[in-house]
Each structure stands twice: as structure tokens, then as C-alpha cells.
């Protein structure tokens, strides 16, 4: 079997085409948002929101509503609860995040265990890319398009918020409002990625691409290009490898992203492990020679 046949065979199945489309959309969207999450230091917030949507999905199933609607409601609820606990107590944000997301995630697990269902709700936890329906695909496309459009239109505000909130306030912006909008977009992005890799692995798609791009460039504008390109390539690679190995599709997508991160971590020209050690060794030799 030649390369063209290897690439074309999976595309002969409708479920594989849908899986590829959802993966590409989710990977690119998560990657763009992850650039801001990495800079702001919101990695744990991404973890919290992605896990907190679980009870919303189960309740949506019970009510016969779209999964995305329930996930969105609980994503926004998680953000509001975290902010409320943080602002009304002496607890720091990381403690508020831990309390809210573990509580909501536990509620979701309990609901799954007591809900009689002919649908395997565990797919929400671990992902079910190959089971994406046409309606699921359209939900992903719609939410992805809205979220991506807002990220692009307000990218300057989000970037200023990430680098210098004091300066943003001096220019007449509201850092609190910008942060709230960004958290809302995080909730929407989590819903999109939920269709691809499930609750457990969403946080990886929200963090790894931005972290990889951060190692490869010092310019934020380039990060916004590098992250989605690498994430999309990793997503496509993961889907194809999972098809031929008959392995977990969501797991392979995240593993492909982790593999690219490992390469960047080792071989990045400026911040890679090898480059920094060589530079450190060179400085030591120069210092020894100067003596």
C-alpha cells in the first residue's frame, strides 16, 4: 500500500471524515486559546472548566437537550463559582478552582452512575471521536466559528490583558471584563474539544500547543500561528495512527501533541534543553578562558 492509499483509505468512511473535521477544528481552536492561557498562567483554570462541564452534559442528556447546551451552562457556572469563591473569601484562586472543579466533576460522575442510559455516557469522559454525528459536527462548527471570531477580533485586548493588566486599565479597558470574556471563551472551547477527546484530555489540548509554541518563539504573534499549525498536524496524525493501530483516537491525538512538545523541549534553538545546556557550557568555557 503506497502513501496515497494510506491517506485515502480512512476518508472512505463517513465517521472518519467527521472525526478528522472535529479534530482539526478543536485542535486549532484550543491551540489559539492556549497561547493566552499559557501567558496568563491559567493552565489550572482550563483544567477546571473542562472537568466542570460533565454534570451539564449528563443533565442535558436527561432533559433531551443538546449536550453542548448543558456543557456551556455548566462551563459558565464553573467560572462564576470560581470567581465568587475567590472574591468573597480569603482563599486564593488555585484553592477556589480546586474546590469548584472537583465538586462539579464529582456531581457529574454521580449522575452518570445513577442515570439509566442506552448511551455510554463514559464517552463524555474519555471522548468518542469516531461516534460524532452530523448534528454534533454542526455544533462544533458553529461554536468553533463564534469562539474563533471573537478571539481574532479581540486579540489585541486579550494580549494586552495577558502582558500588562495595569496598562490595559490605564487605557480605559476593564481587565475584569476582558478576563470574564476570556473565561467564557474558555468554556465554549472546552465544549468544542469535549466532542473530540472527552473531559479528561481537554486540558491537554488547551495547554500543550501553547506551551510548545512558547518554547519555539519569543514573539506572541508567531505563537498564534505556530500553535494551531502544530496542533492541527498532531490532530491529523493522531487520527490516522489511531485508525491503523485500532487505538483510542482522542488519546492518540494528545500523544501526538505531547510528542511534538517533547521535540521542542529538547531541540528548540533558543529554549530547548540541549541548546540551553550547550550555551551554559559555552559560557563556562569562556569564563574559564578569561581567567
Please work out, in degrees rounded to the nearest 5, the angle formed at the alpha carbon of residue 281 by the alpha carbons of 275 and 287. 135
> How far is residue 104's CA from residue 120's CA, in Å, rounded to a whole number?
20
**Exposed e or buried b per residue across 2-21, where buried means at least 16 C-beta atoms within 10 angstroms of its C-beta:** eeeeeeeebeeeeebebbbe
Q: Which of 196, 188, 178 is nearest to 74 (CA)?
A: 188
> CB of 43 within 8 A of CB of 25?
no
pLDDT of residue 1: 63
Q: Model's pTM, two decimal places?
A: 0.84
To the nearest 10 degrees (0 to 180), the angle between helices 155-163 and 175-216 is 80
Instruction: Read off the C-alpha cell for 29.
Output: 481552536
Cell numbers 483510542 label which residue? 248
Cβ atoms of 186 and 202 closer than 8 Å: no
pLDDT averaged over 10-residue windows placed end to end, the chain, 291 residues? 79 87 91 90 78 83 79 83 84 84 88 70 69 80 89 89 84 84 83 75 88 91 93 93 88 92 90 81 74 65
Fold observed for domain 3-290:
ABC transporter involved in vitamin B12 uptake, BtuC (1.10.3470)
DSSP string for residues in 33-46: HHHHHHHHT-HHHH
Provide CB contacts within 8 A for 87, sequence distance 6+.
none
CB neighbour class for 150 (10 Å; exposed up to 12, middle 13-18, buried from 19): middle
Cell of 113: 452512575
Report how far residue 69's alpha carbon sits from residue 85's, in angstroms, rounded to the nearest whole number.
Answer: 24
Residue 117's pLDDT is 62
* C-alpha grid cell, residue 63: 432533559
Query: What angle do helix axes 54-63 and 93-114 make, rounded to 10 degrees?
Result: 30
**What cell was used for 108?**
457529574
Cα 182 to Cα 147: distance, rounded to the nearest angstrom: 10
Res 129: pLDDT: 76
115 three-state secondary structure: coil
State which H helix or E strand residue 164 sits in: none
In the chain, where are the structural domains located? Answer: 3-290
Q: How far is CA 117 from CA 13, 20, 61, 114, 207, in A?
A: 27, 27, 9, 9, 33
Q: What three-state secondary structure class fits 270?
A: coil
What is the C-alpha to C-alpha distance for residues 279 and 88, in angstroms, rounded to an integer? 48
Amino acid at each position: 500500500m503506497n502513501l496515497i492509499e494510506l491517506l485515502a483509505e480512512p476518508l472512505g468512511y463517513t465517521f472518519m471524515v467527521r472525526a478528522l473535521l472535529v479534530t482539526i477544528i478543536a485542535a486549532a481552536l484550543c491551540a489559539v486559546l492556549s497561547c493566552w492561557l499559557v501567558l496568563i498562567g491559567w493552565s489550572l483554570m482550563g483544567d477546571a472548566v473542562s472537568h466542570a462541564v460533565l454534570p451539564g452534559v449528563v443533565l442535558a442528556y436527561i432533559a433531551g437537550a443538546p449536550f453542548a447546551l448543558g456543557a456551556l451552562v455548566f462551563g459558565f457556572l464553573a467560572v462564576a463559582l470560581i470567581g465568587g469563591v475567590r472574591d468573597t473569601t480569603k482563599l486564593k484562586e488555585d484553592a477556589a478552582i480546586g474546590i469548584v472543579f472537583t465538586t462539579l466533576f464529582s456531581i457529574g460522575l454521580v449522575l452518570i452512575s445513577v442515570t439509566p442510559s442506552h448511551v455510554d455516557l463514559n464517552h463524555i469522559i474519555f471522548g468518542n471521536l469516531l461516534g460524532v454525528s452530523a448534528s454534533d459536527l454542526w455544533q462544533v462548527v458553529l461554536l468553533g466559528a463564534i469562539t474563533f471570531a471573537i478571539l481574532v477580533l479581540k486579540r489585541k485586548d486579550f494580549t494586552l490583558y495577558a502582558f500588562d493588566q495595569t496598562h490595559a486599565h490605564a487605557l480605559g479597558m476593564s481587565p475584569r471584563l476582558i478576563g470574564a470574556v476570556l473565561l467564557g471563551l474558555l468554556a465554549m472551547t472546552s465544549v468544542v474539544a469535549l466532542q473530540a477527546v472527552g473531559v479528561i484530555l481537554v486540558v491537554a489540548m488547551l495547554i500543550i500547543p501553547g506551551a510548545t509554541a512558547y518554547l519555539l518563539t519569543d514573539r506572541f504573534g508567531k505563537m498564534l500561528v505556530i500553535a494551531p499549525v502544530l496542533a492541527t498536524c498532531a490532530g491529523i496524525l493522531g487520527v490516522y495512527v489511531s485508525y491503523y493501530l485500532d487505538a483510542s483516537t482522542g488519546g492518540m491525538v494528545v500523544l501526538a501533541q505531547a510528542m511534538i512538545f517533547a521535540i521542542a523541549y529538547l531541540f528548540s534553538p533558543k529554549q530547548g534543553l540541549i541548546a540551553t545546556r550547550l550555551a551554559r557550557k559555552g559560557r563556562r568555557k569562556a569564563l574559564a578562558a578569561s581567567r
